[in-house]
Amino acid sequence: MHQHLGAATMAHEPDWLREARSSLEAGLREAVADLEPFSHRAVAYYFGWQDEHGRSSPGPSGRRRLGSLTLLAACLNGGDWHQALPAALACELAFNAAVIHDDIIDHDHTRRGRPTVWTLFGEAAAILAGNALTAVAFDVLATARPAQAAETTGWLARTVVQLNAGQLLDVRFEDRTVVTLPDYLAMVDGKAGAFAECGCALGAVFAGADAETVAGLASFGNRLGLIWQLRNDYLGIWGDPALTGKEPRADLKSRKKTYPVLVALAHGGEERERFADLYRSSPPGLLSDDASHLAADLIEQCGGREATLRETRRLLDEALAPLEHLVPDTTAREALSALATAFALSDR
Amino acid sequence: MHQHLGAATMAHEPDWLREARSSLEAGLREAVADLEPFSHRAVAYYFGWQDEHGRSSPGPSGRRRLGSLTLLAACLNGGDWHQALPAALACELAFNAAVIHDDIIDHDHTRRGRPTVWTLFGEAAAILAGNALTAVAFDVLATARPAQAAETTGWLARTVVQLNAGQLLDVRFEDRTVVTLPDYLAMVDGKAGAFAECGCALGAVFAGADAETVAGLASFGNRLGLIWQLRNDYLGIWGDPALTGKEPRADLKSRKKTYPVLVALAHGGEERERFADLYRSSPPGLLSDDASHLAADLIEQCGGREATLRETRRLLDEALAPLEHLVPDTTAREALSALATAFALSDR
């Protein structure tokens, strides 16, 4: 195991991770196989196994980063990823249920270049498919490890509650003109932090880690989730479209209140006023290409770009610091560190 | 306990049931107390503890029949309802989550004479509040009885999957001109049967019943759920508005495909054709008062009324038959029998 872990940046996928990911995919297929046929079609489409007509598709949609993180957490201190497969499945199922619901809530029509579930199958089917996936996640945890079901299902339940709180904060931001950075970080903590935390914790529990290691990895996972979100926020403005697969400055065009935007709005001075006017008062709908260019420049002049990179680095330090005494094995520790760094510096 | 059970028809609520129901209500309040404040407001409104402005309301909305059934199941064979309180809470939480989602799915604007959650708080908040309630249900089960968490959370998870399948079938019926009786009963089995089954099973598990008793009570609960739905279908056409609190022939006015309607459509002859024409081809929107009167008469002439009453009686026999060897205590058995009969003959 350990000779592989050393190479576990997401950029260069090691053999064990490719194998683990393929087991994860097979496990997902099996977990949802008995769903009601119409729900199954919606889910198989969402996961990228089928097209909208139910015909076989080339491959999975999404990178299963959460599941991979869960499996990696299990590998530390001598564990084996196979042990944590049900934990990774449960996290992916519940997390993707939330994504399906999020697309309804945000009225998003496309995800990863394909129509969203609710636009193709209807809102009712999308709500119900999400509910079914979450329930299957609990069933997988309860069935795989009966003796630890209280701990694992309880952890997942509290994570789902947190996630819902984060999603609700996010929705309510849309209606507010003033969103503070602490509000934003509380929302990210619920949405991205809680699930990465749950993945790391359950991975460790399934690999038989002690309570201290579980708590330490949970906290590492939480920071990693925040890093993940801040990096996304960064790429939503300054990412290379060729690598992200998204439109240039997509987040600015849809006037999202992301971390760099909120930093700029919290700034003083003339650039801040120009940016605020541009973001708020231009006609409704998407910002034009030119306007989004200007907005990106103004945000940078207000320090939004630098602050986002700085906060990401700070979170990375915070994530890595406690690993030293938690993960005695230096190879394993380096793998985690490489993963976290890869998240923080990801270009897509 | 037993001296009280004898009087446990829902019509004359015995003292122990009133006390149990008040503990259930207090437990529900406590279980959701830590939800994100906006979600909490939506949930407190839904449960009838607050009005839409967050001001205290006179009392609960809904009769908590599922929770009461769960507590009653725990009382059989010498158990005590206090033991099963977390099971009753979990069932009520998950069931009501589904109701909140169902109102979005069906675009229903009112429930029990009050605006539905999504109409007051928005669709996003209603989706998220439902998700949070379901997650809390799993947390309650996992925390209350760690040693049995695998069994109880697994049971609830599979129930939620079944419920979602039932809800989806129901949605898809709307788009179909032909719905068969077996299709309809499969849908009811998922929607009403699965949850009453789960309530009885979990009540029995929490009271320490053996596997045979759990399975027997689960099957009793399933039949009870079907009875409950068929009785609702009956009352939706022939119920007394003064008792049901609904409009006369409400189900016919909204052209619902309920059991009596499907029996009539499966019938042959001239009345069937007249009814089918009336139900399908009049202008869209609600059926008029006169048209719904005529529809009710035609359904009755096609045997829909008699068939519904007959099927309800058959289900009642099916529910009660296995109780004889399952519940040796005759007083307890009489209580269950009285409850089932009360459901089958309920006027509201």
Give buried/exposed letters for A237-262 (b at 16+ CB in 10 A, else e): bbbeeeebebebbbbbbebbbbbbbb
Per-residue pLDDT of B147-170, as tens digits, reads: 999 999 999 999 999 999 999 999
How confident is the model at residue A7, as a pLDDT?
Answer: 34
Per-residue pLDDT of A268-316, as tens digits, reads: 899 999 999 998 876 777 889 999 999 999 999 999 999 999 999 999 9
Q: How far is CA B223 from CA A148, B10, B198, B216, B238, in A?
A: 33, 17, 12, 11, 22
- Minimal CA–CA distance to B191: which of B99, B60, B89, B321? B99
CATH code of the domain in which B36 resides:
1.10.600.10
Better-scored residue on pLDDT, A112 or A121? A121
Q: What secondary structure letter does DSSP report for A122?
A: -
Average pLDDT over residues A51-78: 87
Give the residue numbers spanning the domain of B317.
2-345
pLDDT at position A8 over 60: no
Which range, A174-183, B53-62, B95-104, B174-183, is most confident? B95-104
pLDDT at position B43 over 60: yes
Map residue B260 onto helix, strand or coil.
helix
Better-scored residue on pLDDT, A197 or A255? A197
Average pLDDT over residues A97-114: 93
Q: Which of B105, B157, B160 sits opposite A124 (nearest CB)?
A: B105
Per-residue pLDDT of A132-144, as tens digits, reads: 999 999 999 999 9
User: Terminal CA-to-CA distance of chain B, rounded, Å?
Assistant: 27
pLDDT at position A208 over 80: yes
Question: A275 vs chain B: nearest CA distance in angstroms?
Answer: 29
Better-scored residue on pLDDT, A40 or A4? A40
- Mean confidence (pLDDT) of chain B: 90
- Minimal CA–CA distance to A312: which of A212, A174, A192, A177? A192
Per-residue pLDDT of A31-59, as tens digits, reads: 999 999 999 999 999 999 999 999 998 77
Confirm whether the ipTM is greater than 0.90: yes
How confident is the model at residue B7, as a pLDDT?
Answer: 35
Q: Which band of pLDDT confidence, cut at 50, 70 and 90, is reported for residue B9?
A: very low
- Minimal CA–CA distance to B101: which of B19, B194, B57, B166? B166
Average pLDDT over residues A160-180: 89
Do B154 and A165 make contact, defined as CB atoms within 8 angstroms? no
Question: B268 vs chain A: nearest CA distance in angstroms?
Answer: 32
Do A160 and B105 make contact, defined as CB atoms within 8 angstroms? no
The rounded percent of chain B whose pLDDT value lies above 70 is: 96
How confident is the model at residue B2, as a pLDDT?
Answer: 38
pLDDT at position B8 over 70: no
How confident is the model at residue A207, as a pLDDT?
Answer: 93
Per-residue pLDDT of A211-222, as tens digits, reads: 999 999 999 999
How confident is the model at residue B282, as a pLDDT?
Answer: 63
Query: How far apart, in whole angstroms, are the C-alpha atoms of residue A152 and residue B142?
Result: 9
How confident is the model at residue B286, as a pLDDT?
Answer: 85
pLDDT at position A149 over 90: yes
Q: Which band of pLDDT confidence, cut at 50, 70 and 90, is reported for residue A61?
A: confident
Per-residue pLDDT of A233-259, as tens digits, reads: 999 999 998 888 788 998 999 888 999
Residue in the block written with tokens 């760099």: A260
Average pLDDT over residues A81-90: 97
Q: What secondary structure letter does DSSP report for A47?
A: T
User: Terminal CA-to-CA distance of chain A, rounded, Å?
Assistant: 27
Strand extents, DSSP E, chain B = 110-111, 114-115
Nearest Cα residue in chain B from A190: B36
pLDDT at position B122 over 90: yes
How confident is the model at residue A99, as a pLDDT?
Answer: 96
Average pLDDT over residues A146-155: 98
Question: What are the DSSP calls for B117-155, one per residue?
Answer: HHHHH-HHHHHHHHHHHHHHHHHHHHHH-GGGHHHHHHH
Question: A213 vs chain B: nearest CA distance in angstroms?
Answer: 21
pLDDT at position A346 over 90: no
- Length of chain A equals 348
Q: Which of A105, A132, A139 sits opposite B124 (nearest CB)?
A: A105
Query: How far apart, in whole angstroms, are the C-alpha atoms of residue A88 and residue A91?
Result: 5
Q: Which of B147, B149, B164 sits opposite A132 (nearest CB)?
A: B164
Average pLDDT over residues B320-332: 83
Do B168 and A38 make contact, defined as CB atoms within 8 angstroms? yes
Better-scored residue on pLDDT, B342 or A285? B342
**Total structural domains in chain A?**
1
Do B124 and A160 make contact, defined as CB atoms within 8 angstroms? no
**Which secondary-structure segment (H or E) carries A111?**
strand A110-111
Q: What is the pTM of this model?
A: 0.92
How confident is the model at residue A12, as a pLDDT?
Answer: 60
Average pLDDT over residues A104-133: 95
Q: Is A175 exposed, middle or buried (0-12, 13-18, 19+ CB in 10 A)?
A: exposed
Q: Which band of pLDDT confidence, cut at 50, 70 and 90, is reported for residue B12?
A: low
Do B101 and A156 make contact, defined as CB atoms within 8 angstroms? no
pLDDT at position A6 over 60: no
Average pLDDT over residues B91-118: 94
Q: What are phi and psi of B56, to 5 degrees?
A: -55, 140
Average pLDDT over residues B252-274: 93
Average pLDDT over residues B90-100: 98
How confident is the model at residue B142, as a pLDDT?
Answer: 98
Q: What secondary structure letter does DSSP report for B175?
A: T
Q: Which segments of B207-258 does DSSP mark as H helices, in order?
A: 211-238, 241-244, 250-253
Query: How far apart, in whole angstroms, are the C-alpha atoms of residue A52 and residue A59?
Result: 14
Map residue A56 onto helix, strand or coil.
strand
Mutate to test the interface with A, among B107, B138, B160, B172 (most CBs of A within 10 A): B138
- Length of chain B equals 348
Query: How far apart, in whole angstroms, are the C-alpha atoms of residue A34 and residue A46?
Result: 16
Retrieve residue A226's tokens. Answer: 């925040």
Q: How far is CA B176 from CA A119, A220, A315, B192, in A?
A: 20, 51, 54, 21
pLDDT at position B185 over 60: yes
Retrieve residue A220's tokens. Answer: 């590492």
